C-alpha cells in the first residue's frame, strides 16, 4: 500500500512538473507573428512612468562635422529625387565638401571615413551619470544607422566598431554604463532603409574629369558595407529585395539576442511584412522569457497607428491630442549628427516639449549631440544644466503621471499648429504664460504654466462651473517655492495671485490637491 502511495505521489509530482513546464513554454511563446496576436501586448509600467529618455545618435558619420546623412550625401554628385529616383542635376554640399577635404569618392569613400572615427574622448560612464542627473530614466544607443556600420560586436560582417574606428563595443559599453546608473537600456536600428539609402555609392560623376569613374561603393569587394546594387524599381525607404530583408532580420535578431534591450526602435514602420512580424514576435517572446514571464520590453516604430501593438513613434513631432496608447517623440537638440556651427534647442524648449508630450500620454526620447571624439561641447552642457536645474523640483509632475481629462488649455491648445514631419504637430513650438498643460497622479493635478507668469494665474478648467472640475480644491502650491499662495476658486477659473517671488525657471508647476 505504501509503495502504491509513493508511486501515486511521484506520478502526481511528475504531472505537475510537466504541466508547469508546458505552461511556461506556452507562455514564452505567447506572441505569434500576426497583428492580431500583437494586440495582446501590454505596455510595461517602467516605460509609462519613465517619460524621458536620452539617445546617442552617434557614429562615424559625425567625423566630417557636416551633420546627418553624410555617408549618402557625400556620393550625391547628382542628387536623386527621393520620390521619383530621377536625377535633379544638382550636387549636394556634402559631395562638394568631401571632394575638397578628402578627395573624390572613387578614391576616398565612406570606408575611409570609418577609420577616422576614434571616439578618443568618449567616457560612457561619465556621460551616463550626467544624463541621470538631467532626469533621463532610459538611455538608447544607436546600433546601426543607414550606413550599415554596426556599433556592436557583430559576427555578421567586419564593418563594426570592435574591428574598426574606436575598436570598442559601443552598444555594450553604453549598456554597462546605463545599468550602473539604474537606467533602462534600448537600441535603435536604422538598417531597414540602408539597402536603398546607400545606392548613390554605386554611382559615378556624369561630368568633370572623373566622369564615369565608379565610386568605391561599386567595388565588388565592398558589398558587405555598401550593399549590392538594387533593381531600378527598388528605391523606396524599405527595400523590396527578399535577400536584403533576410539580412536585416539576421542583423536585428543578433542585436536582440546579444544585448536583450529593454527598448528597440526602428527608423521606419515595422519593416518587411511577415519578416518584421517574425522579428517582433521573437523580441516580445524573449522579453517575456528574460523578465519572469512579464512583458517588460518596448518596440517603437513610425508612421502606422499602433492600435496597442507597439509604441508609435513621431520623429520631430508630437500628438495633437491625448492618445489612448503610450507613444514617443524622438527628436534631437540639434542636427542628428554633429555639425559645425549648428543651432541647438534651449533647455527651456526641451522642458516645454517634454511637458506637452507627457500631457498627451507620450514619452520624449532626446538625442544629445556628441562630437566625433565622443564628448559634449559647452553649448550642449549648458542645455543639459538648464534641464537638470528644473527637474529635481518639478519632476514629480512628470514621472509616474498620467494624462488628465484634457491635455491643456490656452492659446496654443486652440490655434492651428504647424504640422510635424510624421503627423501631429511640431515638437518645438512657442508658448505663452497662459498656456497650461496638465498631468495627474492619484488625487493630485499638476498644471504647468508654459511661460513665466507676469500676472495672476487663471486656470479656466478648474473653475467652479467647469464640467471638468468635479471636486473641491484643498490646496494649491508652486513646486520649488515655499511661498504661501493666495488663491480662489471662482465660477469661471481657479485664480492664483501672482507670487511675490517665482522660481528662477520660466516654466512653473502648480500642484493642486483635491478634497477627498
In a domain, 218, yes or no: yes
Mean pLDDT of the chain: 93
pLDDT tens per residue across span 257-296: 999 999 999 999 999 999 999 999 999 999 999 987 888 9
- Does a structural domain hold residue 332? no
Tell me the pLDDT band of 3, cut-offs 50, 70 and 90: very low
Which pLDDT score, from 0 to 100, does residue 163 have? 98
Is the pLDDT at 506 greater than 80? The verdict is yes
Domain boundary among 285, 315, 345: 315
Q: What is the mean pLDDT of residues 201-205?
A: 97
Residue 478 belongs to domain spanning: 408-514
Q: Which three cell numbers stand for residue 365?
A: 526620447
Report pLDDT for 304: 77
290 and 412: one domain? no
Please check whether residue 30 is in contact with residue 287, taking contact to mean a CB–CB distance below 8 angstroms. no
Contacts within 8 Å (CB) and 24+ apart, 426-432? 426/316, 426/317, 426/318, 427/314, 427/316, 427/317, 427/318, 427/329, 427/331, 427/353, 427/357, 428/331, 428/345, 428/349, 428/352, 428/353, 429/352, 429/356, 431/352
CB of 369 within 8 A of CB of 380?
yes
Determine contact, residues 62/41, Cβ cutoff 8 Å: no
What is the mean pLDDT of the segment spanning 103-119?
Answer: 98
What length is written for the chain? 516
Q: What angle do CA 123, 128, 133 make, to 5 degrees?
A: 135
Q: Please indicate, yes or no, if residue 356 is contained in any of the structural domains.
A: no
Residue 174, pLDDT above cutoff 70: yes
- Same-domain check for residues 89 and 201: yes
Distance of CA 134 to the CA centre of its chain: 16
Looking at residue 211, its pLDDT comes to 96
Which of 291, 315, 339 is where one domain is finished?
315
Give the pLDDT score at 420. Answer: 77
CATH code for the domain in which residue 417 is found: 2.60.40.1180
Question: Is residue 499's pLDDT more than 50?
Answer: yes
Is 358 a member of any domain? no
Q: Are 196 and 145 in contact (CB under 8 A)?
A: no
Find out whether 357 and 53 touch, Cβ atoms under 8 Å.
no
Query: CB 392: neighbour CB atoms within 10 A?
Result: 12
Q: pLDDT digits over 445-455, tens only?
A: 999 999 999 99
Determine, yes or no, domain membership for 36.
no
Residue 324 lies inside a defined structural domain of this protein: no
Mean pLDDT of the region 99-126: 98
> Same domain, yes or no, for 415 and 311?
no
Q: Tell me what pLDDT residue 419 has.
A: 80
Grid cell 550625401 — which residue?
73
- Predicted confidence (pLDDT) at residue 115 exceeds the cutoff of 50: yes
Q: Are residues 311 and 415 in the same domain?
A: no
Q: Cα(139)–Cα(268) distance, rounded to whole angstroms?
A: 20
Do 308 and 455 belong together in one domain?
no
Please write the tens of the pLDDT for every residue from 302-351.
977 889 999 999 999 999 999 999 999 999 999 999 999 999 999 999 99
Task: Give the pLDDT confidence score for residue 469 in this predicted structure.
Answer: 82
- Report how far residue 110's alpha carbon sits from residue 183's, in angstroms, rounded to the nearest whole number: 34
Q: Which of 76, 208, 50 is nearest to 132 (CA)?
A: 50
In tens, the pLDDT along 384-429 reads 999 999 999 999 999 999 999 999 999 987 666 788 777 788 888 8
Q: Which of 315, 336, 357 is the last residue of a domain?
A: 315
Residue 355 Cα distances to 144, 326, 394, 440, 496, angstroms: 30, 14, 11, 12, 21
Whether residue 420 sits in one domain with residue 304: no
Q: What DSSP string runs through 57-106?
A: --SGGGTTSB-TTHHHHTT-SSPBPTTT--B-S---HHHHHHHHHT--TT
Number of domains in the chain: 2
pLDDT in tens, 51-77: 999 999 999 999 999 999 999 999 999
What confidence category does residue 516 fall into, taking pLDDT thresholds of 50, 70 and 90? confident
Residue 470 lies in a domain: yes
CATH of the domain at 130: 3.20.20.80
Question: What is the distance between the alpha carbons of residues 152 and 149, in angstroms, rounded to a whole number?
Answer: 9
Q: What pLDDT score does 291 carry?
A: 86
Hey, how many other C-beta atoms are within 10 angstroms of the C-beta on 82? Answer: 11
Half-sphere exposure of 281 (CA within 13 A, CB side): 16
Does residue 321 belong to any structural domain of this protein? no
What's the mean pLDDT in 155-166? 98
Amino acid at each position: 500500500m505504501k509503495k502504491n502511495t509513493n508511486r501515486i505521489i511521484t506520478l502526481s509530482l511528475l504531472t505537475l512538473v510537466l504541466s508547469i513546464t508546458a505552461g511556461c513554454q506556452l507562455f514564452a511563446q505567447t506572441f505569434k507573428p500576426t497583428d492580431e496576436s500583437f494586440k495582446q501586448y501590454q505596455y510595461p509600467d517602467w516605460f509609462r512612468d519613465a517619460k524621458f529618455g536620452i539617445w546617442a545618435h552617434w557614429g562615424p558619420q559625425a567625423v566630417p562635422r557636416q551633420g546627418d546623412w553624410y555617408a549618402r550625401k557625400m556620393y550625391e554628385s547628382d542628387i536623386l529625387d527621393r520620390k521619383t529616383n530621377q536625377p535633379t542635376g544638382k550636387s549636394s554640399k556634402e559631395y562638394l565638401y568631401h571632394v575638397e577635404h578628402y578627395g573624390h569618392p572613387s578614391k576616398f569613400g565612406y570606408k575611409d571615413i570609418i577609420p577616422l572615427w576614434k571616439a578618443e574622448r568618449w567616457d560612457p560612464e561619465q556621460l551616463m551619470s550626467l544624463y541621470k542627473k538631467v532626469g533621463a530614466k532610459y538611455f538608447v544607443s544607436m546600433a546601426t544607422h543607414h550606413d550599415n556600420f554596426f556599433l556592436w560586436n557583430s559576427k555578421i560582417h567586419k564593418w563594426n566598431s570592435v574591428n574598426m574606428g574606436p575598436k570598442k563595443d559601443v552598444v555594450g559599453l553604453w549598456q554597462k554604463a546605463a545599468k550602473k546608473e539604474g537606467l533602462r537600456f534600448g537600441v535603435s536600428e536604422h538598417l531597414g532603409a540602408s539597402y536603398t539609402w546607400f545606392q548613390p555609392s554605386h554611382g559615378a560623376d556624369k561630368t568633370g574629369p572623373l566622369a564615369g569613374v565608379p565610386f568605391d561603393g561599386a567595388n565588388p569587394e565592398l558589398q558587405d558595407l555598401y550593399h549590392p546594387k538594387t533593381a531600378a524599381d527598388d528605391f523606396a525607404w524599405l527595400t523590396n529585395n527578399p535577400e536584403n530583408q533576410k539580412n536585416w532580420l539576421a542583423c536585428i535578431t543578433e542585436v536582440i539576442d546579444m544585448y536583450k534591450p529593454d527598448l528597440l526602435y526602428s527608423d521606419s514602420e515595422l519593416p518587411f511584412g511577415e519578416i518584421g512580424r517574425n522579428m517582433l514576435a521573437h523580441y516580445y517572446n524573449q522579453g517575456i522569457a528574460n523578465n519572469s514571464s512579464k512583458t517588460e520590453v518596448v518596440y517603437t516604430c513610425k508612421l502606422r497607428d499602433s492600435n496597442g501593438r507597439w509604441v508609435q513613434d513621431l520623429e520631430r513631432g508630437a500628438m495633437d491630442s491625448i492618445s489612448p496608447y503610450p507613444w514617443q517623440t524622438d527628436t534631437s537638440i540639434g542636427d542628428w549628427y554633429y555639425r559645425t556651427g549648428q543651432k541647438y534647442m534651449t533647455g527651456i524648449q526641451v522642458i516645454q516639449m517634454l511637458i506637452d508630450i507627457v500631457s498627451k500620454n507620450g514619452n520624449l526620447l532626446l538625442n544629445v549631440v556628441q562630437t566625433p571624439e565622443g564628448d559634449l561641447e559647452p553649448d550642449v552642457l549648458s542645455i543639459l544644466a538648464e534641464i537638470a536645474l528644473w527637474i529635481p523640483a518639478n519632476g514629480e509632475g512628470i514621472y509616474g503621471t498620467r494624462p488628465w481629462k484634457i491635455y491643456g488649455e490656452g492659446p496654443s491648445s486652440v490655434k492651428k499648429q504647424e504640422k510635424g514631419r510624421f503627423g501631429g504637430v511640431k515638437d518645438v513650438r512657442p508658448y505663452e504664460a497662459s498656456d497650461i498643460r496638465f498631468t495627474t497622479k492619484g488625487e493630485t493635478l499638476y498644471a504647468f504654466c508654459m511661460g513665466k507668469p507676469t500676472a495672476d494665474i487663471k486656470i479656466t478648467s478648474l473653475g467652479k462651473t467647469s464640467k471638468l472640475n468635479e471636486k473641491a480644491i484643498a490646496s494649491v502650491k508652486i513646486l520649488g517655492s515655499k511661498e504661501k499662495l493666495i488663491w480662489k476658486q471662482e465660477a469661471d477659473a481657479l485664480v492664483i495671485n501672482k507670487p511675490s517671488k517665482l522660481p528662477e525657471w520660466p516654466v512653473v508647476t502648480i500642484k493642486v490637491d483635491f478634497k477627498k
